[in-house]
Amino acid sequence: MKVTAAVEAEPVAAKAAQPVLLSGGNPQIAKGYGDAPVQAYIAAMPGWKSDVGRRMDALISRTVPNVSKAVKWNSPFYGVEGQGWFLSFHCFAKYIKVAFFRGTSLDPVPPGESKQKEVRYLDIREHDRLDEAQFVAWVTQASRLPGEKM
């Protein structure tokens, strides 16, 4: 007589629905265009980062009506049709790094320097308060500049 143990397996669909977190906790989301992949990325951001991601997305969407969205290289990108991408963000272990692709043209210039000539960064850590007025001012300015073609 053969005896088998009953093992409850996690449904395959549930496993497939959970995005992989890359080193530093950045969600691995397939490349895609539109709001859906960006929302999938934001939902997969770990812990406090997801709330900040949702807030930034809402501020960008409100500030730039008809903003173009995509996920590329496991990061959400925001742009203006015909102009290119003006902003992206990425999760690291202890912070979110927001990249303004023409950041040196913004006033005031975002604080984080880059090895790339025009890029400037804003790092947001767990207990930081996002200065929404300043963020919106940067988004407004950045959306009016020629963007990156990626």
Q: Which fold would CATH assign to domain 18-143?
A: Aspartate Aminotransferase, domain 1 (3.90.1150)
CA gap 87, 79 in Å, rounded: 7
The pLDDT score that the predictor gives to residue 12 is 44
**Confidence class for position 18, pLDDT limits 50, 70, 90:** low
User: Does residue 106 register a pLDDT over 90?
Assistant: yes
DSSP-assigned letters across all residues of 49-104: HHHHHHHHHHHHHHHSTT-EEEEETTEEEEEETTTEEEEEEEE-SSEEEEEETTGG
pLDDT digits (tens, 9 = 90+) for 52-90: 999 999 999 999 999 999 999 999 999 999 999 999 999
The reported pTM is 0.85
CA gap 47, 80 in Å, rounded: 30
Summarize the chain as % helix, strand, coil (round to 5). Answer: 35, 25, 40
Total number of residues shown for the chain:
150
CA gap 142, 49 in Å, rounded: 23
CA gap 114, 119 in Å, rounded: 6
Judged by average pLDDT, the poorest of 6-20, 90-104, 113-127 is: 6-20
